[in-house]
């Protein structure tokens, strides 16, 4: 006989023991008919067999004090390969009563069995043989095909429900000894074959029902994912609507601000124009009063000159009157100069006011440009809002398509449900309960579809509101255009007022030229008075002889003053009378003055 490899024999024996323990555990659990506790003997033997399988071919690691050979190292790798195993590893590390790595490994196996994921965890380990080579020899059970067979057998343990208390159990000091008496055949086993056949049929039905549950769970998860995606899209649309509403509110506030600014500017311009009108009217009245005063002063001066020509006989009184008139004329000149300076100041003030009005017009023009730019921006925003509404309509169409697809899926699911009802009417009460659960799920789906329809209606209402806001914005833009037209009209009125101010400036210039002419005339009058002041008339007491005939004055030769040269003559030498423009009556003149005046009149000399 050929000598067999002892490691292969060990692997085969462990595989057979694993088959027997798993088969006995499943059969006993189904006959037991309820959840298994930690004191259940077949379950304890299963954990012992699994420890022996995991310990086969395990490498010995040198520690600081002794050699260490535990299965906790490869089981700890599952946390890195399978993310769902992180909870088991964390709970095993946090258990207070465990002190050795073997106790942690036993607790890990018990928790994996309760989760019904022991086969999945060990399958991840078997696939990664490069990592297992660090812990196992090349001939170990976990490195060979027997390990994959054991993992396949462990899938059948998902039928069992276990309720194990790991926290208070002493897992560090347990002795792992296999009890072979549990796996020996007896006479009762022959009679229990029919029962095993029934149990196998029930297990097949249970597996079928579990697969149906998994498929239904997958469909429910897919439907939940669709519902979540629809909710996310709805939330995004709601956020976009909120953003659009905020933008509309901001635009409305900007419109109100622009309107208030326009009204303030119009009020300011009206106040300035009214103030300028009042100032111009007051200045015109002052100019008229000053002109009347100047005319009156000029008439008074002419009248005084006439009075002086009439009253040459009383020289002393006339001189006093002339001195007083001189002082009055000087005061009048000072007043006139002050008036002229004040008028010049008012002219400067008017020019400054005109400059201010020009600056205000420039500011109004700049604000008009700013408002036009704002109108352009608002038109662009309105275009964007229209694009967004088009996008929202497209999304609404997509949602309608999705709803139609969901309704089709619902109809198909209902048809499938009817077929299943017809096919499986004869099945057990458990299947009927599952059908009732399906119907509840369908009701939930119908409620979800109703909720989606309500969302759609709310979205349509929001779209209508947005359209109304867009129409309001258009109305406001038209109002802004009307305000612009009114502003242009105000500009035209301002231009007319400027023309009126220019005309008034021209009138003021004419008044100034006339005032300068009157000033020149007054200066001529002053010069004439100065020429008269240079001549000193003789008194009647000092004059004793006539200037022409040089005869002494007597009763027959009386004294007479010449009204032209002011000298004293006798009545014989001053019999001549001449009409002068300065006096209403003819005036006595001496013979020499008479001859001179007649000669001037004949030669047209004034």
pLDDT exceeds 50 at position 117:
yes
Lowest mean pLDDT among 323-327, 336-340, 425-429: 425-429
Is residue 576 within 8 A of residue 588, CB to CB? The reply is yes
Lowest mean pLDDT among 5-19, 169-183, 371-385: 169-183
Structure tokens at 82: 């399978």
Which residues, at least 6 apart from 470, have a Cβ–Cβ distance to it below 8 Å?
382, 385, 386, 389
- CA-nearest of 161, 159, 154, 158 to 36 is 161
Q: Which residue has the higher pLDDT, 408 or 34?
A: 408
pLDDT exceeds 60 at position 110:
yes
pLDDT-based confidence at 383, cuts 50/70/90?
A: confident
What is the distance between the alpha carbons of residues 477 and 482, in angstroms, rounded to a whole number? 9
Q: What percent of the chain has pLDDT over 90?
A: 2
Lowest mean pLDDT among 264-273, 353-362, 537-546: 537-546
Residue that has been written with the tokens 């009307």 in this structure: 482
What is the distance between the alpha carbons of residues 211 and 215, in angstroms, rounded to a whole number? 6
DSSP class per residue in 556-577: SS-EEE-TTT--EEETTTT-EE
Is residue 36 within 8 A of residue 160, CB to CB? The reply is yes
pLDDT exceeds 80 at position 271:
yes
Is residue 262 within 8 A of residue 487, CB to CB? The reply is yes
Lowest mean pLDDT among 70-74, 410-414, 499-503: 410-414
pLDDT exceeds 50 at position 190:
no
Largest CA distance in the chain: 208
Which residues, at least 6 apart from 349, have a Cβ–Cβ distance to it below 8 Å?
279
pLDDT exceeds 80 at position 196:
no
Interval 531-582: pLDDT, tens: 555 555 566 666 777 877 877 777 666 777 776 776 777 877 766 666 655 5
What is the distance between the alpha carbons of residues 358 and 173, in angstroms, rounded to a whole number? 105
Q: Tell me, what DSSP letter sits at residue 58?
A: B
pLDDT given for residue 532 in this prediction? 53
Structure tokens at 90: 């964390």
Lowest mean pLDDT among 20-29, 210-219, 253-262, 543-552: 543-552
Is residue 587 within 8 A of residue 580, CB to CB? The reply is yes
pLDDT given for residue 186 in this prediction? 53
Interval 150-184: pLDDT, tens: 999 988 888 888 888 887 777 877 777 777 777 66
Is residue 160 within 8 A of residue 34, CB to CB? The reply is no
Interval 448-495: pLDDT, tens: 888 888 888 888 888 888 888 888 888 988 888 888 888 888 888 888
pLDDT-based confidence at 149, cuts 50/70/90?
A: very high
pLDDT given for residue 249 in this prediction? 92
pLDDT exceeds 80 at position 508:
yes
pLDDT given for residue 392 in this prediction? 78
pLDDT exceeds 80 at position 231:
yes
Q: Which residue has the higher pLDDT, 513 or 315?
A: 513
pLDDT given for residue 376 in this prediction? 85
Q: Tell me, what DSSP letter sits at residue 162?
A: B
Neighbours of 110 (CB within 10 A): 22
pLDDT given for residue 35 in this prediction? 72
pLDDT exceeds 70 at position 602:
no
Is residue 315 within 8 A of residue 321, CB to CB? The reply is no
pLDDT-based confidence at 67, cuts 50/70/90?
A: very low
What is the distance between the alpha carbons of residues 109 and 115, in angstroms, rounded to a whole number? 10
Interval 263-270 mean pLDDT: 88
pLDDT exceeds 50 at position 2:
no
Lowest mean pLDDT among 179-183, 265-269, 280-284, 515-519: 179-183
Is residue 329 within 8 A of residue 526, CB to CB? The reply is yes
Q: Tell me whether strands 568-570 and 576-578 are parallel, antiparallel or unpaired.
A: unpaired
CA-based torsion, 298, 301, 303, 306: positive or negative: negative
- CA-nearest of 387, 294, 409 to 343 is 294
pLDDT exceeds 50 at position 232:
yes
pLDDT exceeds 80 at position 510:
yes
pLDDT exceeds 50 at position 317:
yes
| Residue 267, CA distances (Å) to 30, 260, 271, 360 in order | 97, 10, 6, 12
In terms of average pLDDT, the best of 154-168, 235-249, 302-316, 558-572 is 235-249
pLDDT given for residue 34 in this prediction? 62
pLDDT exceeds 60 at position 389:
yes
Residue that has been written with the tokens 């009248």 in this structure: 303
Interval 202-227: pLDDT, tens: 777 777 787 888 888 888 888 988 89
Cα-only R_g, the chain: 65
Lowest mean pLDDT among 65-74, 248-257, 511-520: 65-74
């Amino acid at each position: 006989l050929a000598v067999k490899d002892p490691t292969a024999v060990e692997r085969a024996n462990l595989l057979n023991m694993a088959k027997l323990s798993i088969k006995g555990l499943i059969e006993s659990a189904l006959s037991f008919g309820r959840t298994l506790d930690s004191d259940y003997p077949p379950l304890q033997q299963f954990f012992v067999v699994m420890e022996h399988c995991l310990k086969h071919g395990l490498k010995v690691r040198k520690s600081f004090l002794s050699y260490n050979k535990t299965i906790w190292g490869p089981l700890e790798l599952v946390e890195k390969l399978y993310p769902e195993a992180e909870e088991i590893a964390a709970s095993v590390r946090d258990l207070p009563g465990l002190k050795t790595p073997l106790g942690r490994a036993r607790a890990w196996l018990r928790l994996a069995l309760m989760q019904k994921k022991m086969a999945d965890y060990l399958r991840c380990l078997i696939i990664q043989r490069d990592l297992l080579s660090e812990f196992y020899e090349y001939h170990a059970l976990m490195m060979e095909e027997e390990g994959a067979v054991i993992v396949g057998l462990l899938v059948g343990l998902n039928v069992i429900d276990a309720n194990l208390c790991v926290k208070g159990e002493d897992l560090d000091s347990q002795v792992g000894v296999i009890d072979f008496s549990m796996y020996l055949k007896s006479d009762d086993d022959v009679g229990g074959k029919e029962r095993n056949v029934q149990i196998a049929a029930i297990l097949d039905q249970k597996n079928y029902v579990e697969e149906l549950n998994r498929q239904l769970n997958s469909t429910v998860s897919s439907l939940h994912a669709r519902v979540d995606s629809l909710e996310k899209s709805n939330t995004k649309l709601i956020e976009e609507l909120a953003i659009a509403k905020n933008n509309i509110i901001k635009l409305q506030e900007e419109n109100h601000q622009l309107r208030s600014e326009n009204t303030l500017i119009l009020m300011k311009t009206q106040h300035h124009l009214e103030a300028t009108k009042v100032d111009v009217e007051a200045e015109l009245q002052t100019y008229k009063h000053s002109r009347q005063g100047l005319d009156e002063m000029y008439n008074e001066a002419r009248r005084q000159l006439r009075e002086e020509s009439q009253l040459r006989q009383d020289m002393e009184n006339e001189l006093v009157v002339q001195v007083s008139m001189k002082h009055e004329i000087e005061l009048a000149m000072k007043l006139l100069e002050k008036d002229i300076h004040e008028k010049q100041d008012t002219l400067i003030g008017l020019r400054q006011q005109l400059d201010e009005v020009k600056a205000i017009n420039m500011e109004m023009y700049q604000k008009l440009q700013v408002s036009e730019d704002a109108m352009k921006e608002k038109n662009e925003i309105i275009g964007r809002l229209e694009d967004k509404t088009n996008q929202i309509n497209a999304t609404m169409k997509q949602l309608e398509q999705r709803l139609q697809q969901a309704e089709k899926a619902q109809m198909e699911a209902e048809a499938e449900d009817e077929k299943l009802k017809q096919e499986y009417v004869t099945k057990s009460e458990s299947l009927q309960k599952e059908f009732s659960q399906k119907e509840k799920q369908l009701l939930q789906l119908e409620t979800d579809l109703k909720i989606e329809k309500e969302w759609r209606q709310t979205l349509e209402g929001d779209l209508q509101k947005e359209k109304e806001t867009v129409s309001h914005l258009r109305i406001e833009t038209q109002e802004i255009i009307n305000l612009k037209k009114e502003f242009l009209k105000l500009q035209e009125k301002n231009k007319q007022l400027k023309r009126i101010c220019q005309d008034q400036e021209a009138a003021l210039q004419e008044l100034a030229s006339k005032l300068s002419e009157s000033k020149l005339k007054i200066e001529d009058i002053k010069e004439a008075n100065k020429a008269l002041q240079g001549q000193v008339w003789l008194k009647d007491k000092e004059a004793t002889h006539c200037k022409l005939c040089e005869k002494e004055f007597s009763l027959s030769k009386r004294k007479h003053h010449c009204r032209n040269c002011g000298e004293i003559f006798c009545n014989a030498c001053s019999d001549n009378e001449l009409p002068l423009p300065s006096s209403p009556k003819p005036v006595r003149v001496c013979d020499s003055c008479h001859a001179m005046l007649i000669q001037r009149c004949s030669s047209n000399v004034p």
